[in-house]
Amino acid sequence: MFGQNVASNKNKMNDMNGTLVREIKMAQNIQMKLLNGPQPEVEKGEVSGISIPARLIGGDYFDFYLLPNNKLRIVIGDVMGKGIPAAMLMILTRGAFRSASESTEGPGETLTAMNKALYADLRTLGSFVTVLCAEWDMETNIFTYASAGHNVPLVINFNGQVTEVPEVKNVMLGGLPDTEYKVNSIFIEEGNLVFFYTDGITEAKNENGEMYRIERLKEALYRNCSLQVKEVQKNIINSIEKFVDGAKQKDDITMVLLKLNNDGDVDLTGYNSPLLNP
């Protein structure tokens, strides 16, 4: 009888494990579809995004929202934690961004509205989200941005010079209630590349514990800035893979690239793929 109970419990555990694996794969499929949702058509540039989760599903997030006044709003975020809990919060963040973008003027107001929508839930869960929200005016090439504790983008000009945009210090989403997020604006010249990223890139480690760091990222961008965004994106990923040299990925890796051009052609894609081994 005891042996039968043990066998029965093992079968139940196997069934539960099989169900869990299927549900995780379904969650991964849902996340990939959301990150690869329908993309708006824009002019005067190329935009591309990619997110590589450290596990089957991740907590990093990026999104595009085309506004009726010929502006493109871009967001990139990093939820505290990894795996399924972070992915659930990522979905909440996505919903808050989409809702706020419909009713707010500019990135600062968008982050303010997102914080109001998410604050109570994030405090209850003891979590937070870092977010960079930006808006590209396709008529004037004015680039306006606000940060909720997130890395500011890098700008690479046609000569390959890489600079960080001026920092705007604000607290992360879920940090403080009723936060009013400040913005900054810069002019982006035609041919320039704007690179958004999460710290999974700069903090990627090799087997010796050495981090990739922002200096290597800047060097890789310098070498590849003349290419189209998909090629830049691919080469940055290759640079990270070469550096880590098979070491286990510890954090989600996400980037968004915006490159202005002169011909009005556009290639706007969002892609989520586990290219680095978890």
Task: Give the whole-angstrom CA distance, residue 172 versus residue 202.
Answer: 19
CB atoms within 10 A of CB 241: 17
What's at 54, amino acid-wise?
Answer: A
pLDDT at 266: 45
Q: Which domains does the chain have, with CATH numbers?
A: 39-272 (3.60.40.10)
Residues 186-207 pLDDT 10s: 999 999 999 999 999 999 999 9
Average of pLDDT values for 234-251? 95
Q: Label residue 95 left, alpha or beta by phi (over 0 means left) and psi (-120 to 50 means alpha).
A: alpha
CB atoms within 10 A of CB 189: 10
Long-range contacts of 109-115 (CB under 8 A, 24+ apart): 109/181, 110/73, 110/75, 110/146, 111/146, 111/148, 111/170, 111/173, 111/181, 112/179, 112/180, 112/181, 114/148, 114/173, 115/148, 115/173, 115/174, 115/175, 115/177, 115/179, 115/181
pLDDT at 91: 85
Task: Give the whole-angstrom CA distance, residue 109 versus residue 140.
Answer: 21
- Return the bridge partners of 71, or none: 67, 137
Calculate what percentage of the chain has a pLDDT beyond 70.
Answer: 80
pLDDT at 275: 41
Task: Considering only residues 8 and 71, tell me which one the structure prediction assigns the higher pLDDT.
Answer: 71
- Quote the pTM value: 0.84
Strand positions, DSSP E, 53-164: 60-67, 71-79, 129-137, 142-148, 154-156, 162-164
pLDDT at 43: 77
Residues 18-61 pLDDT 10s: 676 776 676 666 666 666 555 556 678 989 898 888 877 778 88
**Residue 15: pLDDT band by 50, 70, 90 thresholds?**
low
Average of pLDDT values for 144-152? 97
**Residue 14: pLDDT band by 50, 70, 90 thresholds?**
low
**What is the CA angle 235-239-242, rounded to 5?**
130
pLDDT at 23: 65
Residues 208-217 pLDDT 10s: 999 999 999 9
pLDDT at 218: 97
Q: Round the average pLDDT of the chain to a whole number and report it.
A: 85
Task: Considering only residues 85 and 111, tell me which one the structure prediction assigns the higher pLDDT.
Answer: 111
pLDDT at 80: 87
pLDDT at 249: 93
